[in-house]
Structure 1
Amino acid sequence: MKVNVKVTVNQAALKRLEDIKQQALEMTGEAVRTDIVASAVVPKQTGELERSGHIVVERGKVKLVYDTPYARRLYWHPEYNFRRDKNANAQGKWMESYVIGDKQKFVQQTFARFVKQLSKGLIK
């Protein structure tokens, strides 16, 4: 038995998928940032730390960066007694639940939803 197979790669569709992935990554990063603000978990005195949060997309990865001189100190010290008059759930390691905790599925499901939405039928 002899089988001949011809494969044609649709380069335009592959490029479109790559663009969709990139856009979905950015949208997912923004959705996580927005969810963090809504969850009121970032320590807040003046609001500068929370406002400094921004998305950086590099080589297929999304980073949520908090860019103040004290961000690292506050993030890595959950034992601090954070004031809760402005953000009721203020805590250290405020992004940890998205990486290894109960909000991990939020990230995965949000990315999948954006990819499907942006693909407009290319992905079902």
Structure 2
Amino acid sequence: MMNMSVHAVLNTKKIKQRAQKSFGRAQFVMDSQVLNDSNDYIPADDWNLRDSSLTHSNLGEGDIKWRTPYGRKLYYNPQFNFSTDKNPQAQGLWFEAAKSKDKDSWITQSKKEFEANFN
């Protein structure tokens, strides 16, 4: 019978750093997709609502915001008769609309980004 010994060193600090970087990149991809897909459904007159999301969101931190004086009112009142002149998909609850259509894609793309950066 042959005797063998194995000595393995696991660098947990490096693994943690790589995981944090990968999570950060995956979060950035998720946030970017959520923002872009949600903006496909925002009511638009002069696009200030969309532009506010590009200015006030913190991509990579899970912080997506639409900051206008009227944003909350439009979001939480899907019963409004939104003009579809500039955006044919305009509606309230735009994040929910995007999520119901694109959630699986968001997850898939984020997983791919995590795996690409962790390996």
Q: What TM-score range do you get, normalising by the shorter chain?
A: 0.7 to 0.9
| Counterparts of residues 32-111 of structure 1 (less than 5 Å) | 32-37=34-39, 40-54=40-54, 55-56=57-58, 62-99=62-99, 101-111=100-110
**RMSD of aligned Cα (Å):** 2.3
Give the number of the structure whose residues are more often strand, by fraction.
1
Unaligned runs of 5+ in 2: 1-7
Q: Is the 8 A contact 1:98 1:106 kept in 2?
A: no
Letter in 2 for 1:115: F
The structural deviation recorded for 1:110 is 1.7
Alignment of 1:10-49 (within 5 A): 10-37=12-39, 40-49=40-49
Highest relative contact order (Cα 8 Å, sep 6+), 1 or 2?
Answer: 2
Q: Partners of 2:74 and 2:92 in 1: how far apart?
A: 6
Q: Between Structure 1 and Structure 2, how many residues are aligned?
A: 111
Q: Retained in 2: the 8 A contact 1:28–1:107?
A: yes
One-letter amino acid of the counterpart of residue 41, structure 1: Y
- 2:37, 2:102 within 8 Å by CA — same for their partners in 1? no
Segments of structure 1 that go 5 or more residues without pairing to the other structure are 1-5
CA–CA distance in 1 between the matches of 2:35 and 2:26?
14
Identity of aligned residues (%): 23
Structure having the larger proportion of residues in helix: 2
TM-score of the pair, normalised by structure 2:
0.79
Q: Distance in 2 between matches of 1:29 and 1:65?
A: 11
